[in-house]
Amino acid sequence: MFVAVISVLPPSSRRLWRAARSALVAALAWAAAGGSVAAASLTVLMGDDMAASSEFVQQLRADQEPGGRFELVRVSPGAPGAAQPEAAAAPDTERAANAGVRTRGLRPSAADTPLTMAVGPAAARAAVERPGQEPLVLAMLSRLEYETLKASSPALRRGDRRVGVLLRDPAMADQLALVNAVLPQKHRVGVVATPESEPLVRELQRAAQGANPAWDLRVEYAPDARSIASALRQVVPQSDALMVLPDLIGDNQAATLSVLRAAATAGLPVFGASEGLVRSGGLAAAVSTPSQLAQQARQLGQKVASAGTGSGNSNNAPLVEAATPATVRVNATVARGLGLRLPEERELTDRLAAPR
Amino acid sequence: MSSVPPSHDPAGPSGTEGAGTPSQSPPSPSPPPASFQSPHTLVVRGNLQRDLFRLGVVPCAAVALALTGWFTHNRLQTLEAAFDAEGQAVARQVAAMSDLSLYAGDVPALQNVANAALRGGQVTRVEISNSAGIYVTAGPKTASLAQLRMFTSPVTLREASRASAFAPAGSTAAGDTPIGLVQTFRDTTAYTRERSRSLIAGIGIALVALMAAWASVRHMARTVARPLRRVSRTVAALEAGHFEVRCDVVEGGTRGTHELAVLAHDIDRLAERLQRNRQISEERVREATAVALQRMAEAEQAALSRARFLAAASHDLRQPLHAMGLFIDGLLPGATPAQRPAVLRLQESTEFMGVLLDDLLEISRLDAQVLTPAIAKVPLAELFDQLDAQHAAAAVEARVRLRWSDRGLAVRTDAAMLRRIVGNLVTNALRHAPEGGTVLVAARRSAGGVRIEVRDNGVGIAPIHQGRIFEEFYQVANTERDRRRGFGLGLAICARIAALLGTRITVRSALQAGSTFAFTLPAARLADVAPPQPAPMAPAPLVGLRCLVVDDDPAILDGSRALLEQWGCQVECVSTGAEAIARLGTGDIHYDAVLCDLQLAGDGDGVDVIDAARRLQPEALAVLVSGATGPEVLQRLRHGGVMLLTKPVAPAKLRALLTTRRQVPAH
């Protein structure tokens, strides 16, 4: 993996820079504990050019304080040397990163609270593998991407660095809450999953069991995203609604359309976590926008920084948060086709935002 | 020209190889075998070439039209089906692509689908709609509806494939319910153009096929018909007698199995045989003609010799007989009673001899064919009356009843000849009728005109004689040759006259049952018959009649002078023609009659005297007296219109002639 650094210091000043950084981290922890101070120094690693990532980064920059340092580092996936050890690769990495630097802001000062934020899975992997002890926030990751990263990167649990993870998908409890808001009388929810979806399924099952009344969850596993017909045939007759998880099926357009067709044929509503799903035939989805995620990520960064400086958590487990749903999208045409009368999107959003 | 009669031998040419030899007569026509006899006449029209043409072109035309029609129909149907299938396929494809979008109300996605369908170029307009008010269109709506064809496909939610089939068993009802409608519109201009092009191409192909078939069949029909036409022409030429004509049709190959070539070869062989037979036949005809001509010449020569002999004999006999008669008539008044019977017998014998000579002369005339019948309408009543008057005395003398039955009929014939026939037959019948018997002369209508029968109830004629009774001098029952029973020339003369009149005398007779002679003449209407001539006046005395007698025979001159002077005539006799013409030309003496011999002394010709008499004294009766009976002489006299008395002249006949002259001045 190739890492580019926008701004680097002279080698003679590194020792001094480390001492100053420790002081800065302490100051940031203090500011975070006070709850009113934003990180003054923010390094953003961006691994892709998707519109959502760009919107996320743009929102981060917009929220940056005028005196704070904002550094954007673009990570090119698949670059040579990605598998090199961090210690030996660090200077080269920094040097090579000069090529992709777009200097944007101010040079960091000793008083800034440094925070590194990785956008997307590629950037997250690069950030985890990067040496350093500054707090790290991994944003715009799906649950499965996070699970994969966790399984493949032991560096994620390093003791000298606090890591926060912001998932881009809403929590399963929020999804079930949306289903309950739309179909108050229905309790049977069907899910078609693949073996890779197991973490999601477990979360969903936990959320279902924790709800009151408990959901009747029907989960069928398909061998892969291209062979879901059999599972659909099992699930559809026993469900009042289908839910598309953000897994291989939810990311596969053909599989998603199959689920939508099956549901439409059977007259079942489909719930998901993306606006595209609603546009393509789903009934409703709890959606988090990149801007809202950026704000949530900045808050998560403050949490991570303050936790690192304040408590000295020895657990070393990353602080994981699901996306807080910003809004609810409803397909009125589908609702009309299903003969449902739904509340307004704003009302549903409010219901979802209400504390449970 | 004669030709060899066609052979009817069913064995064919090979079975008549020796038929042309002179020793064999041509085979008699025999009826064709039963296998050749057709039950009915076969009617054919047109000609063979046209039949062959029809035989070839009509099936070709039918097949070409049928195939072209079928292929064109199929082609048009295929075009139609392809056009419809494409439009329908696009509609179905759009419906399949827009099902979920229509379900979700995703108008941009539907618009994308419609635009994508439009970019394919197969349809000009796409409409996607449902009952919820979604209406997505792509493509202009400006084209005329008449040029657009619409295809519709319902939008249903369906499984994408078997592999991804999700519909559970028993829950497919919702998938069958349409959730919207897709309408695609295709412009039919190109399709219509293609359809017209296919139609024109089909018609063109049919026409080309027909033209090719027409040309091919025409060529084949000509190929078949030409040798047949040549064979037909050859047969026609053979029928017309041109046996040298040949078909000249040979087969191009070497196998020799072409039927037309075989037929032509057979006809050529037939023509060769016919030509050979005709040459043989012509040779035979030439030989036969030569023989016949020789025989005819011999017969003519014989007839001529016979006539010449008869003429000479008649002339030479008549001259002394004529003088003898004149002298006997002169002696009779002055004969003593003792001499009178002898003189009378002498006179009778002379008369018989005269009759015999008359008959011989008449037969000679008839054989010479110098007599021409003067056909007129003759009432039988008058004729029978004359004949009755003529034969009544003889009948009474023979004690035979003579009956006449004319039934008011008339005939068209020569009256004198008819009178001669009937008179001879009646004389004959009276002669053979028994005493107390009856002779019936009856006329009655028959199919061919008027049939005249002379019937007697005499002894009859044995069949053995019936075929010969018309021969000269043939008498059935007169072996003693009694001249009073005739000379056997009567029926011969009757038969010849009947032939002249265009009829034939038939005889029906049986022994002891009498005989019936009959002949038929054309009938004439009695109303057309001229009224009868008034009865001749009574003979007037010949006293004072001036006669000029010219003859080189002094005995005849003396006899004639004595007879005429006995009748009271004034007679002048000269012996040469020149002297007679000189007498006639003087103009001092007017003669009432000029009697001139034909053959005068030297080169004198009686005809010249007669001509001079007609010229110089037209009122005088110019009569040529001759014993010549030769056909040339008689024909010459007939052409010259000369009145002829044949020697020996009966005094009564001469007197009657002169009496008519005597009566002329009385008028």
**Coil, strand or helix at B519:** strand
B263 alpha carbon, distance to own chain's centre: 34
User: Which pLDDT does position A78 carry in this prediction?
Assistant: 55
Measure the CA dihedral B623/B629/B633/B637, to 10°.
30
DSSP state of A9: -
Kindly report the CATH class assigned to B306-369+538-666. Answer: alpha beta
DSSP state of B73: H
User: DSSP of A110-176, one letter per residue?
Assistant: TTS-EEEEEEHHHHHHHHHHS---S-EEEEEE-HHHHHHHHHH-GGGG-TT--EEEEEEEEPHHHHH
Confirm or reject contact between B601 and chain A (CB < 8 A): no
Q: Is the pLDDT of residue A221 over 60?
A: yes
> For residue range B100-132, what is the model confidence (pLDDT) as tens digits?
899 888 999 999 999 999 998 889 899 999 888
- The residue ranges of DSSP E strands in B437-527, in sequence order, are 438-446, 449-456, 506-509, 515-521, 523-524
Task: Give the residue among A99, A111, A119 at the shortest CA–CA distance from A27.
Answer: A111
**ipTM for the assembly:** 0.72
Residues 6+ apart with CB under 8 A from A161: A132, A133, A134, A135, A136, A308
Contact predicate B451/B520, CB 8 Å = yes
Q: How far apart are the C-alpha atoms of B622 and B609, rounded to whole Å?
A: 9
Q: How far apart are the C-alpha atoms of B609 and B616, rounded to whole Å?
A: 10
User: Which pLDDT does position A32 carry in this prediction?
Assistant: 43
Residue contact A260–B160, C-beta within 8 A: no
C-alpha distance from B146 to closest chain A C-alpha (Å): 36
Q: How far apart are the C-alpha atoms of A63 and A61, rounded to whole Å?
A: 5
User: Which pLDDT does position B51 carry in this prediction?
Assistant: 79
Confirm or reject contact between B163 and chain A (CB < 8 A): yes
User: DSSP of A185-236, one letter per residue?
Assistant: T--EEEEEE-GGGHHHHHHHHHHHHHSSSPPEEEEEE-SSTT--HHHHHHHG
Residue contact A266–B174, C-beta within 8 A: yes
Amino acid at A248: L
User: Which pLDDT does position A113 carry in this prediction?
Assistant: 63
Q: Is the pLDDT of residue A105 over 60?
A: no
Q: Is the pLDDT of residue A25 over 70?
A: no
Lowest mean pLDDT among B493-507, B514-528, B563-577, B651-665: B651-665
> For residue range B385-433, what is the model confidence (pLDDT) as tens digits?
989 888 888 898 889 999 999 998 999 999 888 998 999 999 989 988 8
Q: How far apart are the C-alpha atoms of B103 and B101, rounded to whole Å?
A: 5
Lowest mean pLDDT among A178-192, B457-471, B558-572, B650-664: B650-664
Residues 6+ apart with CB under 8 A from B631: B307, B311, B364, B365, B367, B368, B369, B370
Higher-pLDDT residue of B342 and B484 is B342
Lowest mean pLDDT among A70-79, A339-348, B512-521: A70-79
Confirm or reject contact between A197 and chain B (CB < 8 A): no
Contact predicate A217/A176, CB 8 Å = no
Q: What average pLDDT score do residues B141-164 get?
A: 73
| Rounded (5°) CA angle B1-B4-B8 | 145
Q: Is the pLDDT of residue A316 over 80?
A: no
- The CATH 3.30.565.10 domain(s) of chain B lie at 376-528
Q: Is the pLDDT of residue A91 over 50?
A: no
Lowest mean pLDDT among A109-123, A238-252, B94-108, B147-161: A109-123
Amino acid at A81: G
C-alpha distance from A191 to closest chain B C-alpha (Å): 14
> For residue range A158-177, what is the model confidence (pLDDT) as tens digits?
778 888 999 988 889 888 99
Ramachandran bin of B524, using left for φ above 0, alpha for ψ from -120 to 50, beta for the remaining angles: beta
Residue contact B103–A281, C-beta within 8 A: yes
Residue contact A266–B105, C-beta within 8 A: no
Q: What average pLDDT score do residues A292-312 get?
A: 77
Question: What is the pTM (predicted TM-score) of this model?
Answer: 0.49
Q: Is the pLDDT of residue A31 over 70?
A: no
Block residue for tokens 């090979």: B14
Higher-pLDDT residue of A10 and B101 is B101
User: Which pLDDT does position B535 carry in this prediction?
Assistant: 47
* Chain B, nearest residue to A330 by Cα: B104
User: Which pLDDT does position A94 carry in this prediction?
Assistant: 38
Q: How confident is the model at residue A80 (pLDDT cuts 50, 70, 90)?
A: very low
Show the domains of chain A with their CATH numbers: 11-168+291-323 (3.40.50.2300), 172-287+325-353 (3.40.50.2300)
C-alpha distance from A228 to closest chain B C-alpha (Å): 6
User: Which pLDDT does position B586 carry in this prediction?
Assistant: 84
Q: How far apart are the C-alpha atoms of A59 and A53, rounded to whole Å?
A: 10
> For residue range B166-204, what is the model confidence (pLDDT) as tens digits?
544 444 444 567 889 999 999 888 888 988 998 898 888
The 10 Å Cβ neighbour count of residue B153 is 22
Q: Tokens in use for B536?
A: 């001749």
Block residue for tokens 């959901």: A215
> For residue range B583-628, what is the model confidence (pLDDT) as tens digits?
888 878 888 899 998 888 777 788 889 988 888 888 888 888 887 7
Of the candidates B106, B164, B169, which has its C-beta nearest A258's C-beta?
A: B164
Q: How far apart are the C-alpha atoms of A216 and A206, rounded to whole Å?
A: 12
| Percentage of residues of chain B with pLDDT beyond 90 | 19
Q: Is the pLDDT of residue B7 over 60?
A: no
Of the candidates A226, A265, A331, which has its C-beta nearest B105's C-beta?
A: A331
Higher-pLDDT residue of B346 and B25 is B346
Contact predicate B501/B417, CB 8 Å = yes
User: Which pLDDT does position B483 carry in this prediction?
Assistant: 63
Block residue for tokens 């291209």: A226
How many A-B residue pairs are in contact by the CB < 8 A criterion?
89
Q: What average pLDDT score do residues B372-382 get?
A: 88
User: Which pLDDT does position A167 carry in this prediction?
Assistant: 92
Q: Tokens in use for B413?
A: 């014939």
The 10 Å Cβ neighbour count of residue A98 is 12
Of the candidates A233, A261, A280, which has its C-beta nearest B106's C-beta?
A: A280
Q: How confident is the model at residue B663 (pLDDT cuts 50, 70, 90)?
A: low
Of the candidates A265, A279, A282, which has its C-beta nearest B174's C-beta?
A: A265
Q: How far apart are the C-alpha atoms of A40 and B146, rounded to whole Å?
A: 74
What's the CATH fold of domain B376-528? Heat Shock Protein 90 (3.30.565)
> Which chain B residues have a beta carbon less than 8 Å from that of A237?
168, 171
Task: Give the residue among A209, A293, A191 at the shortest CA–CA distance from A250.
Answer: A191
- The CATH 3.40.50.2300 domain(s) of chain B lie at 306-369+538-666
From the number of C-beta atoms within 10 Å of its C-beta (0-12, 13-18, 19+), residue B384 rates as: buried
* Chain A, nearest residue to B109 by Cα: A280
User: DSSP of B26-47, one letter per residue?
Assistant: PPPP-PPPGGG--SSPPP--S-
| Rounded (5°) CA angle A318-A319-A325 | 135
